[in-house]
Amino acid sequence: MPKTPDELFAFLDSLGITVTTKTHAPLFTVADSQSLRGEIAGGHTKNLFLKDKKDNFFLVTVDEEAEVDLKQIHHLIGASSRVSFGKPEALMEMLGVVPGSVTVFGLINDTDKRVKLVIDAPLMENEIVNAHPLSNEATTSIASGDLLTFVKATGHEPLVLKVSA
C-alpha cells in the first residue's frame, strides 16, 4: 500500500525536517494551483513522470512556469531514447499517486528505486519549494535543502540540472 500523507509527515519529522501544509480543494493543473499564489510563498512545482523505450522511469520536477522540451530532454537526463509520459498504472505502482497528484514526495513509495529524480536547477534557487504531499488536496512547503535531504533519505540520488528552456 502506498504511504499516506500522515506517514509522509511522520517520515519528514523523523528526519528533523519541518514543513508547513495548507489544505485546499483538489488542484489538477498548474492553472488551478496558481489561485493560491498569494497564500503560499516559494517555488511551486510541476512534475513530469516520464519513461523511455527501455522502461527507465524519470520524475522531472520543475518550476510550474518552466517549459520543458520533451523532444530533447532525453539527452539531458540520461534516457536511452526519447521519452513519453508514464502510464497511470506505473505511476501508482512506483510513486503511489494518481495523475494530478504527481509529486517529488512520491519517492517515499519508490522502495525499489526504479524512478530517477531530476530537479530543474532554477527551481532549487528558491528558499522554499512547494509540492503536493501525496494528494492534490494540499500543498506542502519545504526548504529546498530539506527537500534534497528527504530525497536522499528515500534512497534516491537527486540529479539537479537545468532542464527547462
Q: What is the pLDDT of residues 78-105, one digit of tens each?
A: 999 999 999 999 999 999 999 989 999 9
Question: Is the per-residue pLDDT at 159 higher than 90?
Answer: yes
Q: What residues pair up with 144 in beta bridges, in sequence order? A: none
Residue range 36-79, pLDDT digits in tens: 656 788 999 999 999 999 999 999 999 999 999 999 999 999 99
- How far is residue 106's CA from residue 95's CA, in Å, rounded to a whole number? 4
Q: Which helix (H) or strand (E) holds 10?
A: helix 5-14
Question: Is the per-residue pLDDT at 35 higher than 80?
Answer: no
- List, in order of start, the domains of the chain with CATH numbers: 5-15+40-161 (3.90.960.10)
- State the pTM of this model: 0.93
